[in-house]
Structure 1
């Protein structure tokens, strides 16, 4: 029986154009570190360390460990200097990135209905960002972080999408079997891959990311209003 809904964040719970979002993000973080790097240098460093983090499958390293291991290996500055700057950036400057995002009334209503019906909900965002940046984006979506029993972040998680270990780690943390869960997301390769573990899947098409034409992992598909109607039809689990 379906009991738990896992949601992707960017492009799913939080409507956005990823290109616009990343442009604004790199613009703001480049301002924060302007005394140390050119925008081009910092962007290159962040992308390289993010790639290193995504490829990491060492269960003894959190995503944060992997990112900073690579990042600080490439620069002549220390964590003592930069970690407080990163923390301040995600507390303050990152808030300006909100202008590249929107809300979906259908997602907000769908989350409310799922809560009323007794479903457990998880934010299963690709954990590339610190927790506070993820909390900000949940709020930008018009949602309450307290409605989610677990929220992935790069401090907590040891794997990234599309590794199946990412989903296995979530299932372990929430003590659920795959057959009890559905993954809702907009990325066919990164979100719908959860089907391979036995989760049901729902592809949100409004901001769909599709690198191939392979739809074998998609159980349900629709735009935000379709998902809202889908949720209305779900049985209560109370």
Structure 2
């Protein structure tokens, strides 16, 4: 049925409590960066949120990375990009504090391993709002190997974000895949199921479902990660 399987990360491969994740993330980030930046914690968190918001509206005219640092720096009043290496060091080290808000679903690794063993091309189609170190760490927390994925979207190889269809178009073009031969697996009704508009088949993972406006998703394949694993077994008989 498919040649390609695209997996979302946060809330899909990596179960998480989003509010707790943000609390641990911002808390540990401020602890590391505030003594160096010499700004108030709120100024740093506000700048990060501004950068995230700007990336979410990116129209493809610049890399998400460049958009993030431009807007984050503007809000903080500090040229934060000068400290990018220090931020990356944070993701390689202190960022582990946010792992406390996540858990491991064994069916995530089972599905990735099954897909790889059965010849699918697999991609980590996470919203590209984090740099590579942060994204690879979150995959590792999920119990999967980043090297198993042919391509992983991060903020410095992407110029748009889900649910902008440009994100999926760009991924298809870069990786040479056709939507009609691909399955998007994610937990976000808005950000992942929108790929169906381009011809993707979709599977909504409901363990950590995000459905901001209470949309009816009954017309889409959906179920727990265990259900999805059984679906893969069924279509590969």
Q: State the TM-score bracket (shorter-chain normalisation).
A: over 0.9
Q: Distance in 1 between matches of 2:114 and 2:43?
A: 45
Structure 2 SS opposite 1:136: helix
Matches within 5 A, 1:179-218: 179-215=180-216
Q: Report deviation, 1:77.
A: 2.7
Runs of at least 5 residues in structure 1 that lack an aligned partner in the other structure = none
Q: Alpha carbon RMSD of aligned pairs, Å?
A: 1.6
Deviation at 1:219, TM superposition (A): 2.4
SS at match of 1:74: helix
After superposition, residues 1-238 of structure 1 pair within 5 angstroms as 1-35=1-35, 36-57=38-59, 59-79=60-80, 81-215=82-216, 219-235=220-236
How far the C-alpha of 1:48 sits from its partner, in A, is 1.3
Does the Cα contact within 8 Å between 2:50 and 2:75 map onto a contact in 1?
Answer: no
Q: Deviation at 1:20?
A: 1.1
Report the Cα offset of residue 211 of structure 1. Answer: 1.4
Query: 1:6, 1:184 within 8 Å by CA — same for their partners in 2?
Result: yes
- Structure 2: distance between partners of 1:21 and 1:74: 23
Please state how far the C-alpha of 1:215 moved relative to its aligned partner: 3.4
List gaps (5 residues or longer) in structure 2. Answer: none
TM-score scaled to structure 2, two decimals? Answer: 0.94
| Partner Cα distance (1:23, 1:233) in 2 | 40
> Deviations for 1:136-158, whole angstroms, at most 9, x for unmatched residues?
01111110111110000001000
**Cα distance 1:217–1:38, how it changes in 2: closer, same or farther (>3 A)?**
farther
The 1:44–1:218 alpha-carbon spacing in structure 2 relative to 1, beyond 3 Å, is: farther
Deviation at 1:78, TM superposition (A): 2.7
CA shift at 1:218, angstroms?
Answer: 5.3
Q: How far has the Cα of 1:93 moved from its partner?
A: 1.1
Contact map agreement 1:188 1:215 (CA 8 A) in 2: no
Does structure 1 conserve the Cα–Cα contact (< 8 Å) formed by 2:108 and 2:144? no
Taking a change above 3 Å as real, the CA distance of residues 79 and 46 of structure 1, as seen in their structure-2 partners, is closer
1:123 and 1:152 map into 2 onto residues whose CA distance is 7
- Alignment size in residue pairs: 235
2: CA distance, partners of 1:184 / 1:215: 17
Asked if 2 retains the 8 angstrom alpha-carbon contact of 1:28 and 1:94, the reply is yes
Answer with 183-192 or 227-236: which moved more: 227-236
Ranges of 4+ aligned residues in structure 1 off by more than 6 Å: none
Shift of 1:131: 0.7
Q: Secondary structure at the match of 1:68?
A: helix
